[in-house]
Amino acid sequence: MVITVANTAVATAAAIVRIGARPVFVDVDPERLTMDPVHLVAVIDALAPQRPKAIIPVHLYGQPADMPAIVSIAAENGMAVVEDCAQAHGARIDGRRVGSWGQAGCFSTYPTKNLGGVGDGGMITTHNGRLAEKLRRIREYGWHERYISRTPGTNSRLDELQAAVLRVK
């Protein structure tokens, strides 16, 4: 199980299902429209003794979720945090950028996003070196070395045209 917000895009729930997990939805704070920590605790308590593996807060309209509270709740419950930053490029909480609070931050650069390219694209941030290396392998056919795959992967590299447009923006 992975907890996320009920008002997220279908892509968030689809990613959860794709890894073989079940999405569990939590209500949002009516002012911020992001994950409500009070409702998050209530959902975790309601699921006991089962424990979700992760929380995916979604930053929305440039408005960051309450990451200090969410990260604290996750730590208390032994859960990972993966931030959905697709609609909040550059947003900060207490001077700290979104995408740096959890184990990973996921950014979309689809043309309709806050930082949009001219086609599909995205980025993942992490402060965990082992996770970063695993993500690099997954994005390029699972290659450990060129043409040698140790794990399943895909072709999901940001192309040069997208990178050039995003660099200017």
Identify whether 146 is part of a domain.
Answer: no
Q: What is the pLDDT of residue 76?
A: 97
Tokens of 58: 């979604």
Residues of the chain short of pLDDT 70, as ranges, are: none
**How many angstroms separate the CA atoms of 52 and 165, rounded?**
38
Identify whether 135 is part of a domain.
Answer: no
Identify whether 82 is part of a domain.
Answer: yes
Tokens of 83: 């931030």
Strand ranges across the sheet with 104-108 = 23-26, 2-5, 54-56, 80-84, 104-108, 122-125
Q: What is the pLDDT of residue 25?
A: 97
Contact 2, 16 (CB under 8 A): yes
Identify whether 140 is part of a domain.
Answer: no
Contact 132, 149 (CB under 8 A): no
**How many angstroms separate the CA atoms of 13 and 41, rounded?**
20
**Residue 43 belongs to domain spanning:** 2-126
Measured in whole angstroms, how far is the alpha carbon of residue 14 from the centre of its chain? 12
Identify whether 109 is part of a domain.
Answer: yes
Q: What is the pLDDT of residue 30?
A: 92
Tokens of 98: 């979104």
Number of domains in the chain: 1
Say if pTM beats, i.e. exceeds, 0.85.
Answer: yes
Identify whether 74 is part of a domain.
Answer: yes
- CATH number, position 40: 3.40.640.10
Q: What is the pLDDT of residue 114?
A: 83
